[in-house]
Structure 1
Amino acid sequence: MESVRKTFGGSVVLRDVDPEVAPHTVTALIGASGSGRSTLLRCAGLLEDIDDGAIWLDGEEITDPRADQDAVRRRIGVVFQSYNLFPHMTVLDNITLAPRRVHGVSRAEAEEGAGELLERLGLGGWAAGRQGGEYPDRLSGGRQQRVAIVRALAVRPRPLLPDEVTAALDRELVGEVLNVVRDLKGDGTTMVLATHGMGFAREVADQVCFLDGGVVLERGTAEQVFGDPRQERTRRFLRRIVEAGRP
């Protein structure tokens, strides 16, 4: 990102933000609610238009008006905190829809790939059955979130953008989703994720960006940001997290 600016109704939500993400690394976006983390992810995924600046992917300025943004979106995977699974489709159909309709993959190939991903994430049994698998409302929140991650991975995205993927989950379901993200990091998946989990961010992130008021106020390695933050505002934020007993 290069000097990205975004406003909503006259309010500036992102102010000249410029994080850079290297391939096969994980960048965690932390900060209080309303700091701009989710908006940054939505802009990176071309779900929101930016008002100024530029976003680059693989050497291409994807926010250039001349860029084929639909083609760019095919290379990006977004995981929403509210799952956004289609309730009238089975698990298998949710996962294979984009590969078949957008990428032109045959149903057989798409279903084979979906089955492999589901097995890998411990959900193999949910792709089977008389109707081609269960429907999302038959799954727990943790399983639905894992299906949402599989759906994003099915298009083989260049970056994966998970947005607060544990926010809608009960505490006992959080661990299984975080384990999936750890595995993806081990596989070298490039990720930019927004999270409230400071312990999780410290464990998986190669780079941490602390956003405050739409500005990337501090950026560095997880060890530096959590262990020796340079900005007083970052120190206050982390201190409040510890005092509130939030991991």
Structure 2
Amino acid sequence: MSDASATGGSPVLRMESVRKAFGGTVVLRDVDLEVAPHTVTALIGASGSGKSTLLRCANLLEDIDDGAIWLDGEEITDPRVDQDVVRRRVGVVFQAYNLFPHMTVLQNITLAPRRVHGVPRAEAEARARDLLERLGLGDRHDAYPDRLSGGQQQRVAIVRALAVRPRLLLLDEITAALDPELVGEVLAVVRDLKDDGMTMVLATHEMGFARDVADQVCFLDGGVVLERGTAEQVFGEPQQERTRRFLRRIVEAGRL
């Protein structure tokens, strides 16, 4: 049974035999992945295992060398597909907030809906204000990024990704650049998005969070999805020795 069928729906994202290399270094090796609607998939593994590259390939920010990727049943790696249209359906939040420093929070959030999607200003601003309110930033719409904490900036980056109503949200180590005391507020936002039914794939080093929130966990090692399953399966009864060694180190470091 496929990952998607096990959760009751055709996959939002499907990757088949995806290979990606940078020069002579192979970063992804024959990766297969299915992400069902309204689920959270956590990508775990050591730095350099291929997690971020997998996310960038899923959004076509990196061209794959072999294999194919489908979004809602459409092969988006077909050269005839408009990549800009695909990227409008897939939101991405990176480690760095990448907010425009000369724009207010509201201007940062409404830029893409207005310029790329042609959403009228009033409609774009209304959605932005609603999202900011839901994420605890309702009073910060006129602030500039340098007046926000790191956690607030990351929440604004998440709002910006949500403002275009994405079908899929990709989160790449979104707590990596935060001070420890700010991590919780950003992870709380991801929990709320899960409760709202947002389909997400996240690369994370927050193992406790991945265990609690993920419907599917994929352990990557050397560009290969070495193990996959529910959080209970992967964290509780890993089948691969490499996975067991990785998790033992996490436990010894007090991160799980």
Taking structure 1 as the reference length, what is the TM-score of the superposition? 0.97
Equivalent position SS for 1:18? strand
CA distance in 1, matches of 2:59, 2:76: 10
1:93 aligns with 2:102: no
Deviations 1:96-139 (A, max 9, x none): 00100011101110000000000000000011xxxxx1111110
1:107 aligns with 2:121: yes
Other-structure match for 1:58: 72
**3-state DSSP class of the match of 2:34?**
coil
Aligned counterparts of 1:152 and 1:84: Cα–Cα separation in 2? 12
Matched residues in 1 for 2:254 and 2:72: separation? 40
Question: What is the CA distance between 1:27 and its match in structure 2?
Answer: 0.1
Aligned match of 1:37: 51
The aligned counterpart of 1:83 is: 97
What corresponds to 1:211 in structure 2?
220
User: d(CA) in 2 for partners of 1:79 and 1:45?
Assistant: 11
Note the alpha carbon deviations across 1:74-101, whole angstroms, 9 max, x for none.
1010001111111111110110001000
What is the RMSD of the two structures over their aligned residues, measured on CA atoms?
A: 0.6
Matched, 1:72 2:86: yes
2:178 aligns with 169
Take 2:98 and 2:63, find their aligned partners in 1: how far apart are those partners? 21
**Structure 2 Cα separation of the partners of residues 244 and 74 of structure 1:** 39
Question: What is the aligned length?
Answer: 242
Tell whether 2:102 aligns with 1:117. Answer: no
1-side partners of 2:38 and 2:66: how far apart?
27
Q: Gaps (5+ residues) in structure 2?
A: 1-14
2: distance between equivalents of 1:94 and 1:49? 27
Q: Percent identity?
A: 86
Q: Identify the residue that residue 130 of structure 1 maps to in structure 2.
A: none
Q: For residue 11 of structure 2, what is the aligned residue in structure 1?
A: none
The amino acid that maps onto 1:170 is: D
Structure 1 counterpart of 2:253, one-letter code: A
Kindly provide the amino acid, as one letter, of the partner of residue 239 in structure 2. R
The separation in 1 between residues aligned to 2:118 and 2:102, in whole angstroms, is 22
1:148 Cα offset (Å): 0.2
- Residue type of the alignment partner of 1:153: L
Partner secondary structure for residue 27 of structure 1: strand
TM-superposition CA deviations, 1:166-202 (whole Å, max 9, x none)? 0000110000000000000000000000000110000
Partner in structure 2 of residue 18 of structure 1? 32
TM value normalised by structure 2: 0.94
Work out whether 1:225 is the aligned partner of 2:234: yes
Matching of residue 182 in structure 1 with residue 191 in structure 2: yes
User: Matched residue of 1:216: which SS?
Assistant: strand
Q: Which 5+ residue runs of structure 1 have no aligned equivalent?
A: 128-132
Aligned-pair CA distance for 1:45: 1.0
Aligned to 1:154: 163
- What does 1:121-160 align with in structure 2 at a 5 Å threshold? 121-127=135-141, 133-160=142-169
Q: What's the counterpart of residue 237 of structure 1?
A: 246
1:48 counterpart letter in structure 2: E
In 2, the alpha carbon distance for the partners of 1:165 and 1:106 equals: 30
Deviation >4 Å, runs of 4+ = none
